[in-house]
């Protein structure tokens, strides 16, 4: 999913048109961008799941993205794509997790090591290496990794915009599910790759969507306000 294609899907989402109309518009656009009807169809379906569906539990994240006035900061669109993709697509989530974990112990990261870790989750199927390669290609095009030869390095991105950082923290909390995530662990979530969050406590304390609570063990937990 090239960055410009994902950006186009988000632009369609912003129009708030009928879902079928938006999907047809996306297909028409991708048919002019991609050779091969089947490849265009598959890409359309992936981008529909990312931005153009209302039939999943991630719609609150999408709607929150509309409130960010992203048109004034289009350079942060890739952050929104990443936050949604790691929630919606298990393969993206596991690939990002593998990269984040390996990045702490080896640099550059052998692609084969990433594939091996993803295989531990999905089983030894022949389609996984190729699928992971496509995810890596996407993450590189979105600007999160550098992917030369048979190695991967993460690109360091300091998220200085508080509104975008708040949204991204919300995406990470959604990713954690009912288990939740502690405030102390938010900076170490492997799925966020090289994205760093300065002053997450301050961002959460000034947030209208997030709150710090305490679990039974007394740890500070990040929660989404209801």
Look up the CATH number of the domain holding residue 105: 1.10.10.10
Residue with tokens 């502690």: 182
Overall domain count for the chain: 3
Q: What is the pLDDT of residues 14-57, one digit of tens each?
A: 987 788 899 999 999 999 988 878 888 899 999 999 999 988 99
Structure tokens at 100: 């984040």
CA distance 216 to 214: 7
Which pTM was predicted? Answer: 0.94
Work out the burial of residue 195: count CB atoms within 10 Å of its CB; fewer than 13 is exposed, 13-18 middle, 19 or more buried: buried
**Does 213 lie in the same domain as 162?**
yes
CA distance 72 to 137: 27
**Does 144 lie in the same domain as 92?**
yes
Of 130, 156, 182, the residue that ends a domain is: 156
**Does 151 lie in the same domain as 162?**
no
Q: What is the pLDDT of residues 62-95, one digit of tens each?
A: 999 998 878 778 899 999 999 999 999 999 999 9
Say whether 218 sits in a helix, a strand or coil.
coil
CA distance 185 to 84: 20
């Amino acid at each position: 999913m090239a960055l410009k294609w994902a950006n186009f899907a988000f632009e369609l989402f912003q129009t708030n048109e009928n879902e079928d109309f938006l999907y047809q518009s996306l297909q028409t656009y991708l048919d002019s961008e991609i050779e091969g009807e089947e490849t265009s169809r598959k890409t359309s379906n992936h981008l529909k799941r990312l931005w153009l569906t209302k039939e999943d539990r991630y719609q609150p994240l999408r709607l929150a993205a509309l409130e960010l006035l992203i048109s004034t900061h289009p350079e942060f669109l890739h952050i929104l794509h990443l936050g949604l993709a790691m929630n919606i697509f298990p393969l993206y989530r596991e690939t990002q997790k593998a990269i984040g974990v390996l990045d702490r112990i080896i640099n550059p990261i052998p692609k084969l090591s990433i594939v091996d870790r993803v295989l531990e989750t999905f089983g030894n199927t022949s389609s996984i290496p190729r699928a992971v390669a496509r995810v890596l290609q996407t993450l590189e095009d979105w600007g999160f990794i550098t992917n030369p030869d048979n190695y991967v390095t993460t690109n360091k991105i300091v998220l200085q915009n508080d509104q975008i950082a708040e949204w991204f923290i919300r995406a990470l909390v959604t990713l954690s599910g009912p288990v939740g995530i502690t405030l102390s662990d938010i900076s170490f979530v492997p799925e966020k790759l090289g994205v760093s969050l300065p002053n997450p406590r301050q961002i959460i304390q000034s947030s209208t969507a997030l709150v710090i609570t305490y679990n039974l063990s007394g740890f500070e937990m990040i929660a989404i306000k209801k």
